Amino acid sequence: MFEPVAPSLRPRILVVDDEQMIGRTLRRSLAKDHEVQFVDSGAGAIALLEQDCRYDLVLCDLMMPDTSGMDLFAWVERERPELAARFIFMTGGSFTERARAFLLRIPNPQVEKPFDTESLRQLVARQVEHLGPIEQSPPFAALAG
């Protein structure tokens, strides 16, 4: 039988970036105040979000080799639309025409790499406060069983 998941007292952050060092840095800098999970690909993020989409914020690299941040966001808009406003995109400055158009289209915050971790921490805190906690429903996989 399914046991309800107790709501976390700390906001949950998902970091999606193909650069391991950025993932580790963000985990370290945000872990004091947040529950942080890191995945190193867009495909990995989709697999995770199919099981559990209860993240208060998603920090997502825009350009990744397998599944870009744009592709991940398109999936989220279709499958988990409640998360779309909770994305902050991290960009490294190399843009395709598609990426430029995407960044102009979406209202989500964007952060240029390299970024100052303290400024990012402040942005995360503002966004979490502004958006409030995501509904603490059980993971979708648990509902199916």
pTM, rounded to two decimals: 0.86
- The structural domains of the chain, ordered by start, are 12-140 (3.40.50.2300)
Whole-number mean pLDDT of the chain? 88
Return the percentage of the chain with pLDDT > 70, whole number.
87
Closest by Cα among 79, 93, 90, 87 to 131:
87
In the predicted structure, residue 33 carries a pLDDT above the cut 90: yes
Reduced 3-state DSSP string for 3-20: CCCCCCCCCEEEEECCCH
